[in-house]
Structure 1
Amino acid sequence: MTDLFADDIPPLPARDQPREDSPLADRLRPRALDEVVGQDHLTGADGAIGRMVAAGKLSSMILWGPPGTGKTTTARLLADAVGMRFEAISAVFSGVADLKKAFTAADKAADAGQRTLLFVDEIHRFNRAQQDGFLPFVERGTVTLVGATTENPSFALNAALLSRAQVLILQRLDQDALFTLLSRAEELEGTLPLTGEAKDALVASADGDGRFLLNQAETLYAANIREPLDPAGLGKFLQRRVAVYDKDRDGHYNLISALHKSLRGSDPQAALYYMARMLTAGEEPLYVLRRLVRFASEDIGLADPQALTQCLAAKDAYEFLGSPEGELAIVQACLYLATAPKSNAAYAAQKASFKAAKETGSLMPPQNILNAPTKLMKDIGYGKDYAYDHNAEDGFSGDNYWPEEMEPQTYYEPVERGFERKVRERMEWWDRKRQELRGE
């Protein structure tokens, strides 16, 4: 009976070389885990994947990272490294019937003594019921699940599924990793028809996406360009604004770092200079706007709540007007950020609260602050004795909102600058009021 089942089991993926007419990214796909670039923190000897492969046993995992960072490739190579059968489905194109078929094949493979690595691309696109469908097969060991997602697993995946899988974060490819990919392309196809500055610009335009970089390189090879292109020629050829680097070879990341530090240091003149360097060189204005929006939350926060609004309004204005008219709105946002009061209190609070959330797990909030939409929930005490703040004196009840197993914590500490000065006064008043209400 086992032999009959074995005939139905799809074989391990063939490791033949891709066809010559395959896309460049496919022809350069790594053949072993040590060929994967930019993810040494996972695939290295001390990384989570490296340790699992060394032990010869994989646990279910979620690979979380941006496009073009090697999630699919890593999953396939994992199966090869430990001798597992590899089966892949995509949540974009698959439904319940496809899942049942995959689990049936995995059951047959298990009967034949072969383990299955089930790779689920875009796993976050499955609904909650479909995600729940994985649980019994993962628990029984029928499959080792490797899901890939570009979305935050905390929001995109069920808690039950997350509790059974390790989340591994793949990083955007840095410049070294992207240049490694270009070098491999040139070993295979020959020297790219680009000047050194244009090659720098091509790498910067990829924004950490290795697949995009190789696709752009393939376009250049196919065009049979006779003379090397400079950055301006590259931008014109690809119909994409590509950053130009001056004679000092200040790169994309150096300039965005200089802009960020100048804003943080409240130097509007230097901030304008570095932003102008990027925009006049051909940097994508929306990339600059994304960095400004991030800065508004990270380095200003509630010291001036209008900072974030100014940046989002600049984004809307740029999308409405386009270049060059819309770039004035970006300049306005830049000046606003540079001259605004600074505070990283929100940023520090995020890091501290996220750390505490990971350490405390699934502690229940107090029952009195839980909603009770059903009779059963009311009967077991949900919502009982809830203090409605609007009915309290000064609109403040001073109730305790922390899990019983936790002491009240302090994550957010406003600074004595800008609007946060008023927020600090308000929080101090609440703290004194709590002490009065508790007789302390």
Structure 2
Amino acid sequence: MADLFDTAASTREGAAAQAPRPLADRLRPQALGDVIGQEQVLGEDAPLGVMLASGALSSLILWGPPGVGKTTIARLLADQTDLAFVQISAIFTGVPDLKKVFEAAKIRRQNGQGTLLFVDEIHRFNKAQQDGFLPHMEDGTILLVGATTENPSFELNAALLSRAQVLVLRRLSLADLERLAQRAEKELGKSLPLSGSAREALLEMADGDGRALLNLIEQIAAWKVEGKLETEALTTRLMRRASKYDKSGDEHYNLISALHKSVRGSDPDAALYWYARMLTGGEDPRYLARRITRMAVEDIGLADPQAQTICLHAWETYERLGSPEGELALAQAVIYLALAPKSNGGYAAYKAAMAAAKKTGSEPPPMHILNAPTSMMKEQGFGAGYQYDHDAEDGFSGQNYFPETMKRGVYYTPPERGFERELKKRLDYFAKLRARREESRDGRRGES
């Protein structure tokens, strides 16, 4: 009976070995030198190249988008350093599973072999689970290689980051994807039935993801077609891969930052591109309306007071029209902001005033600008000496409105751009009047 079971098991293993393997698995690099892209990490003078040359590999966090080789690099590092390769996913692994992994690694260490523990989606472990790695990293039981698509600065504990080096992997370029496509054609033993423009469209569909490209190529290789397909025929047969966009993750913040900086940099075309990227990624237009209005307040301000009004009207238009018509109103607001004169004068003045307010604490206003609704307050000097500005010949008294113990602050210094040119003229005018009033008061005090 035992022989029967052994024979059955052997048959299953043989069948599995002969089963078709996905193209991505067949093309998995067998050496680090075969990895396409990531020269900034794998090159001779790059971090991993230097570590391997010196024989001193440390724990690593591989941060990058999907399909750029994080798992492959970890596996090849284990091969090159003669470490046992153990792979787990933070999505499916709990505390009991981790304990078993650590115990097995301890046994290997006692037997003279180290363990490279590859943790996929490591950012999904909570703080306590992340802390559980620390003692095993410190005593050499494991060499940790974590993979994450999220910013480690936000998602991983400081203690874990201090014990590992973060390496940034980049999305594959079109040139990298072309090299991968050629490698796939060699493996398949035939060229893809695509025209030049269709081939370019295929590479763009992969959106920097090597695994996605190989999956698309595998689909195309199975087609029975005459001649070469043009772009339209290809896109009809293949669904374009959804853009990588997480409304609560790194891409969300990366793209809104790109939009904001394009507006600040007065580039309406780039600003529209990032606006469109966020919309096609599924971003809520109301979020964009709020951020666009913020740009008007923060980066344009009083250089063009109309900018804020245009943003609010665009926001209101979107609320009334909805999608997709209302998104055009927001796009027009983006164009207006990009072409408007830029100033952070008001923003900088506000921050400076806030800093001064926190520093001076509870300093009271000067007595002459305090109201005196009761006779007792008048006797105490409240409101004494106040000069009603409308009674002055030029409508300006030049009195001091800062606390008496505080040096007069200067917070708003408008740049000579847009409407703020006019505001600067007014500011300079009042500064001259104030200086004259102070000279006049000093003169009267000298005479008395």
Report the TM-score when normalising by structure 1: 0.61
Of 281, 286, 291, which residue of structure 1 is paired with 2:280?
Answer: 286
Match of 1:207 in 2: 207
Question: Is residue 57–residue 82 contact of structure 1 (8 Å, CA) maintained in 2?
Answer: no
The question of whether the paired residues in 2 share the 8 Å contact of 1:64 and 1:168 is answered with yes
CA distance in 1, matches of 2:61, 2:145: 6
Cα distance in 2 between the residues matched to 1:288 and 1:56: 46
Report if the CA contact (8 A) 2:206-2:241 is conserved: no
Kept in 2, the 8 Å contact 1:300–1:342? The answer is: no
Match for residue 341 of structure 2? 341
| Seq. identity, % | 52
With over 3 angstroms needed to count, the CA separation of the structure-2 counterparts of 1:139 and 1:286, relative to structure 1, is: same
- Summarize the Cα distance change of 1:120–1:18 in structure 2 as closer, same or farther, 3 Å threshold: farther
- What secondary structure, in the 3-state scheme, does the structure 1 residue paired with 2:135 have? helix
Name the residue aligned to 1:191: 191
User: 3-state DSSP class of the match of 1:79?
Assistant: helix
Correspondences of 1:351-362 after superposition (within 5 Å): none
Q: How far has the Cα of 1:49 moved from its partner?
A: 0.7
Kindly name which structure, 1 or 2, has the bigger radius of gyration based on alpha carbons.
2
Deviates more, 1:111-120 or 1:195-204: 195-204
Partners of 1:77 and 1:301 lie apart in 2 by: 51
Counterpart Cα distance in 1 of 2:168 and 2:25: 23
Separation in structure 1 between the aligned mates of residue 174 and residue 222 of structure 2, nearest angstrom: 24
Distance 1:234 1:334 in 2: 34
Query: Counterpart in 2 of 1:328?
Result: 328
Residue 211 of structure 1: how far off its partner (Å): 1.1
Q: Are residues 37 and 313 of structure 1, via their aligned partners in 2, closer, same or farther at CA, if it must alter by over 3 Å? A: farther
Segments of 5+ residues of structure 1 without an aligned counterpart are 1-16, 244-258, 346-386, 398-412, 426-440
Query: Shift of residue 223 of structure 1?
Result: 2.5
CA distance in 2, matches of 1:115, 1:95: 22
AA partner of residue 197 (structure 1): S
Q: Tell me the equivalent position of 2:442.
A: none
Q: Distance in 1 between matches of 2:81 and 2:166?
A: 20
* Closer, same or farther: CA 21–321 of 1 in aligned 2, 3 Å: farther
Deviations 1:172-194 (A, max 9, x none): 11111111111111111221121
Aligned equivalents of 1:60, 1:99: Cα separation in 2:
17
State the Cα distance separating 1:196 from its structure 2 match. 0.6
Q: Aligned partners of 2:298, 2:135: CA distance in 1, in Å?
A: 46
Check the 8 A contact 2:75/2:85 in 1, yes or no.
yes
**Secondary structure in structure 2 of the residue aligned to 1:141:** coil
What's the secondary structure of 2:109's corresponding residue?
helix
Equivalent in the alignment of 1:51: 50
Query: What is the rounded CA distance, in whole Å, between the counterparts of 1:111 and 1:414 in structure 2?
Result: 70
Give the direction of change, closer, same or farther, for the CA distance of 1:187–1:20 in structure 2 (3 Å limit): farther
In structure 1, the partner of 2:440 is none
- Residue 239 of structure 1 aligns with an amino acid whose one-letter code is M
Shift of the 266–119 alpha-carbon distance from structure 1 to 2, 3 Å rule, reads closer
1:234–1:242 contact (8 Å) kept in structure 2: no
In structure 1, the partner of 2:97 is 98
**Do 2:24 and 2:211's aligned partners in 1 also have CA atoms closer than 8 Å?**
yes
Work out whether 1:117 is the aligned partner of 2:116.
yes
What residue in structure 1 maps to residue 233 of structure 2?
233
| 1:302 corresponds to | 298
Q: Do the aligned partners of residues 130 and 230 (structure 1) sit closer, same or farther apart at CA in structure 2, a change above 3 Å counting?
A: same
Is contact 1:303-1:420 (8 Å) kept?
A: no
2:80 paired residue number: 81
TM-score by length of 2: 0.60
CA–CA distance in 1 between the matches of 2:62 and 2:97?
A: 21
3-state SS of the aligned residue for 2:236? helix
Q: Secondary structure at the match of 2:229?
A: coil
Q: Which moved more, 1:84-93 or 1:192-201?
A: 192-201
**Contact persistence 2:120–2:147 (CA under 8 A):** yes
